[in-house]
Structure 1
């Protein structure tokens, strides 16, 4: 999946504008809360505990949607809804193992895109000791 598929940049820009100067701080909370939610989901699936999957998946779903991370929100929603069904049916959440395995890489990829968007210069700086390939005041050959 590419950047356009992982993040709804219109939603991201909208929440960025709405939060103004608090945006970076709130995005930091998403990073921290999201990492905790992913950890809790992974622990719950290892313990085969459907009830323990519900809240962190629900939280991750809502926060991901807020920032336009729709694929991450959709995966968290599948985990949440399937876990709820497992709780009601008194079943283990074994059917979610593959989905939970997909979660951390998707979360990490989404955060990398957010970081690149928030700090666009990070990817554009030349490596230490290398001359930039052209630039301000330099003639292109």
Structure 2
């Protein structure tokens, strides 16, 4: 779901601004998913293109590989629908899966970015000795 190498490179490049950028990703992502869903309900593939393109790029920059691939498929299929004057019916399953995928991706990225989240060895009960 996450390309951790890309995520680490972006985090390194952004330094302390990484958490702020994740906040923007949250806000922009919610808006993009809303717009894609609205466009699906309205059978408006043209409206899907820009929102999917934006979400694809932001997800890719943060390492959200599965989300970026899914939004790329939505974007390219919606472009083809516009060119062929068709409705985006074939995208219904991807659009339905998009919000949970976005939320899962965001949760994983935020958990990894939190300074409070640290991998620790268990102590006391349940600690494995080997």
State if a TM-score over 0.5 links the two structures.
yes
After TM superposition, what 4+ stretches of structure 1 lie above 6 angstroms from structure 2? none
2:48 is matched with which residue?
Answer: 53
Matched, 1:36 2:31: yes
1:74 is matched with which residue?
Answer: 69
1:123 Cα deviation from its structure 2 partner: 8.6
Matched, 1:14 2:12: no
Provide the C-alpha distance between the structure 1 equivalents of 2:79 and 2:44, rounded to a whole number of angstroms.
11
Q: Which runs of 5+ in 2 are unaligned?
A: none
Provide the C-alpha distance between the structure 2 equivalents of 1:109 and 1:7, rounded to a whole number of angstroms.
10
Out of 73, 79, 82, the position equivalent to 1:84 is: 79
Aligned residues: 125
2:116 match: secondary structure: helix
RMSD value over aligned CA atoms?
2.1
Larger Rg: 1
Provide the C-alpha distance between the structure 1 equivalents of 2:17 and 2:118, rounded to a whole number of angstroms.
23
Q: Which runs of 5+ in 1 are unaligned?
A: 1-5, 125-132
Provide the C-alpha distance between the structure 2 equivalents of 1:81 and 1:18, rounded to a whole number of angstroms.
30
1:121 match: secondary structure: coil
8 Å CA contact 1:72–1:106 kept in 2: the answer is yes
8 Å CA contact 1:44–1:53 kept in 2: the answer is yes
